């Protein structure tokens, strides 16, 4: 294949991008053709995603790609964050805006545990317990007798919804489905027994397809409006972390990956699920990867804390770039206080800098006062969290880890990379920053033969 172009849409919790990948033999050139914000909307006390606006941005991305001279793309692929889903009714009607994972309801998880124990649920699914997992989101809809379920014909995860809008075909891609805690990790099918035990609607679940599946052709009306020819829509690894891991430039053994962004995802690639008491005790997850691999990992807080500080300061009239914030943290020197980045108080507070200061005060630590001290506290706390997770991971592996590949946007934070290397004792290899987009494009190329 001499020259081939593919278009990746990489949607994160705070922004999305359209990236053209141009393959010239073994060389890959990336061209960003559109970038757009993504944010949760709070309505009646609940957090939602504006799925229709996201689709409008995707259509804009298609048009911008044509405008940039790349109408000869071979396919389109979409990846997003995990767990969140929407409902589709009769005639393809979108039933409301999907709930966002920040709309946490911890009591729902406890209600589920009354029907199936934590241990049994883990041994059936191998998925890390987080209050926003799809299983708990769906159970809440059932428990609250949400009327939308009465008219829902299909449940689709966010990338599956966008693929449906693009093609008219409703399927669930395997890696995104695996984040739900509703999947049997050995057979890669929906765990029907769980649906029966929890009285969850099974008939609304879509057919599961592997990454690299061609879903269909771009709808004719969208093709005509955007100026694209008849082009394929491919399901890459639709979960953004699965796409990022597919792009890790690692060979051999004894390495782990850290996909660093809004979240930090730390783990290894395994040939089969790792489900045992140790994995349960440490709350590790077994999510789907490409080429029949399992991503054995732990999902912890990431640069969300820094993103929120930046946003909150911006509201106060102080607009600092991420590089400026990192420089302030570097100048602040070693921190005298630390936080648990996964503490519930830091999940989605009204004001993140104040929440950091309150946390330190309440735990009898020195309170960070300057912006640099607050960011330094966050970055050191993340490095300490990474060490804790990697130490636990090592107890489940036959050989100790030696290298840590940091990919994703967070790999560009040189101070955090340095703190991580010093704290963990592992050799850190940073990049690519565009790992998710590259992984998405790689699976499209794979589907193209």
Query: Helical H runs in 32-173?
Result: 51-67, 106-113, 118-125, 134-143, 148-151, 158-167
Starting at the edge strand found earlier in the chain, the sheet holding 213-217 runs 27-37, 15-24, 3-11, 75-79, 232-235, 213-217
Query: Helical H runs in 83-143?
Result: 106-113, 118-125, 134-143
Contact in structure between 295 and 241 (CB atoms under 8 Å)? yes
The CB-based long-range contact list for 318-324 (8 Å cut-off, 24+ gap) reads 318/371, 320/371, 322/413
Return d(Cα 260, Cα 409) in angstroms, integer.
6
Return d(Cα 284, Cα 415) in angstroms, integer.
27
Residue 312 falls in the annotated catalytic set: no
Q: Which of 409, 336, 403 is nearest to 370 (CA)?
A: 336
Catalytic residue among 10, 103, 160, 240, which?
A: 240
Return d(Cα 82, Cα 160) in angstroms, integer.
11
Q: Which of 449, 445, 440, 447 is nearest to 27 (CA)?
A: 445
Euclidean distance between the first and the last CA atom of the chain, given in angstroms as a whole number: 9
Query: For the chain, give me the number of helices (H) and strands (E)?
Result: 17, 20
Return d(Cα 359, Cα 349) in angstroms, integer.
11
Contact in structure between 97 and 50 (CB atoms under 8 Å)? yes
Q: Which residues are catalytic?
A: 240
């Amino acid at each position: 294949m001499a020259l081939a172009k593919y278009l990746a849409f990489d949607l994160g919790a705070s922004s999305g991008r359209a990236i053209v990948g141009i393959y010239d033999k073994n060389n890959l050139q990336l061209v960003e053709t559109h970038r757009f914000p993504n944010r949760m909307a709070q309505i009646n006390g609940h957090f939602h995603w504006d799925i229709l606006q996201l689709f409008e941005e995707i259509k804009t991305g298609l048009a911008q790609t044509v405008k940039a001279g790349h109408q000869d793309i071979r396919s389109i692929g979409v990846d997003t964050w995990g767990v969140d889903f929407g409902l589709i009714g009769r005639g393809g009607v979108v039933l409301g805006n999907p709930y966002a994972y920040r709309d946490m309801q911890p009591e729902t998880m406890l209600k589920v545990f009354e029907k199936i124990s934590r241990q049994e649920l883990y041994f059936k699914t191998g998925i890390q317990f987080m209050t926003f997992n799809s299983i708990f989101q769906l159970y809440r809809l059932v428990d609250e007798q949400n009327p939308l379920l009465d008219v829902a014909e299909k449940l689709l995860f966010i990338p599956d919804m966008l693929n449906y809008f693009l093609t008219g075909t409703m399927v669930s891609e395997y890696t995104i489905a695996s984040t739900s805690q509703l999947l049997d990790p050995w057979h890669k099918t929906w765990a029907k027994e769980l649906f029966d035990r929890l009285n969850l609607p099974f008939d609304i679940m879509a057919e599961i397809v592997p990454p690299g599946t061609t879903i269909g052709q771009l709808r004719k009306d969208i093709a005509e409006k955007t100026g694209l020819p008849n082009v394929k829509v491919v399901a890459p690894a639709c979960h953004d972390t699965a796409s990022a891991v597919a792009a890790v430039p690692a060979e051999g053994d004894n390495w782990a990956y850290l996909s660093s962004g809004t979240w930090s995802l730390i783990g290894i690639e395994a040939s089969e699920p790792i489900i045992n008491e140790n994995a349960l005790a440490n709350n590790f997850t077994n999510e789907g990867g490409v080429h029949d691999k399992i991503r054995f990992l732990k999902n912890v807080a990431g640069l969300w804390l820094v993103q929120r500080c930046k946003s909150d300061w911006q509201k106060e009239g102080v607009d600092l770039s991420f590089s400026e914030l990192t420089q302030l943290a570097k100048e602040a020197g070693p921190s005298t206080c630390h936080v648990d980045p996964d503490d519930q108080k830091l999940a989605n507070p009204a004001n993140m800098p104040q929440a950091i200061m309150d946390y330190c005060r309440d735990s009898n630590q020195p309170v960070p006062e300057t912006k640099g001290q607050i960011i330094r506290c966050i970055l050191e706390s993340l490095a300490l969290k990474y060490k804790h997770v990697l130490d636990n991971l090592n107890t489940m592996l036959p050989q100790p880890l030696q290298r840590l590949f940091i990919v994703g946007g967070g790999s560009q934070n040189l101070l955090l990379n340095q703190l991580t290397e010093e704290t963990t004792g592992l050799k850190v290899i940073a990049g690519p920053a565009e790992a998710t987009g590259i992984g998405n494009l790689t699976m499209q190329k794979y589907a193209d033969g």
